[in-house]
Amino acid sequence: MSSEDTSPDAVREGSPPSAGDGGTARPLPPRRLALLAAAAVTALALDLVTKVLVVARLEGEPPVRLLGGALYLVVVRNPGAAFSLATGMTWVLTLIAVGVVTWIVWIAPRLRSPGWALGLGLVLGGALGNLADRFFRAPGPMRGHVVDFLSLFAPDGSVWPVFNVADSAIVVGGASLVLMALLGREYDGSRTRDGEATRTGREATR
């Protein structure tokens, strides 16, 4: 007989276990706050640096053709959402972005999934990058126009709306969150099937 106490009381006193395929307890994954922070800081830094560079060197200049015309660099001041959507709703978009940032900061200490941490970190960094423009660029706080400068296949955004690094981070981060949901991965490191197995086990003991 093992000396380890596996009684229900002992399990409750320790860290909350997650159910495995056999119904046995296993330790929780480590927290992923550092990964989220690293992704957010990287996305934010790249967005801020690229915007400063293009505004200083390209604003008022003809579009720069790259990759044989697959990509153009052209500075556009965007009052709308990502990819130049919802123009004329600048202050509403600012409030929505503040809400998204607040929610991510609130959930961050609970993250135990690397995929969720990476995805939310990219969304956080992208949202902060565009929020910086909303607050600190003309025409004023909460009404500032976001700097976009990446245009695909045409210099005027006629093929695809002009965007920036922050928009790209938000899209990639959002796509990774959708993938995590489709794979049944929860933000706390558990899987959907683990939760179903736990509920099935509880119903069987009733």
pLDDT digits (tens, 9 = 90+) for 114-149: 999 999 999 999 999 999 999 999 988 888 899 999
Burial of 1 (0-12, 13-18, 19+ CB in 10 A): exposed
pTM of the model: 0.79
Q: Which listed residue (9, 47, 156, 167) is catalytic?
A: 167
Mean pLDDT, residues 63-86: 85
CB contact set of 72 (below 8 Å; sequence gap of 6+)? 63, 64, 65, 66, 150, 151, 152, 154, 155
DSSP code for 144:
P
- 5 given a catalytic annotation: no
Mean pLDDT, residues 164-188: 96
Q: Which listed residue (9, 21, 133, 148) is catalytic?
A: 148
Among 169, 162, 170, smallest CA distance to 54 is for 162
Cα R_g (the chain), whole angstroms: 23
Which whole-number Å values give the CA distances from 186 to 22, 99, 194, 198, in the listed order? 19, 21, 10, 15
Q: Which run of H or E residues covers position 106? A: helix 90-107
Mean pLDDT, residues 164-176: 96
52 has a pLDDT exceeding 90: yes
- State the pLDDT at residue 71: 98
Mean pLDDT, residues 99-127: 96
Three-state SS at 24: coil
Instruction: Spell out where the chain has E strands.
Output: 18-19, 25-26, 64-66, 71-78, 146-152
- 9 given a catalytic annotation: no
Dump pLDDT digits (tens) for 26-40: 677 888 999 999 999
Phi and psi at residue 32, in whole multiples of 5°? -120, 30
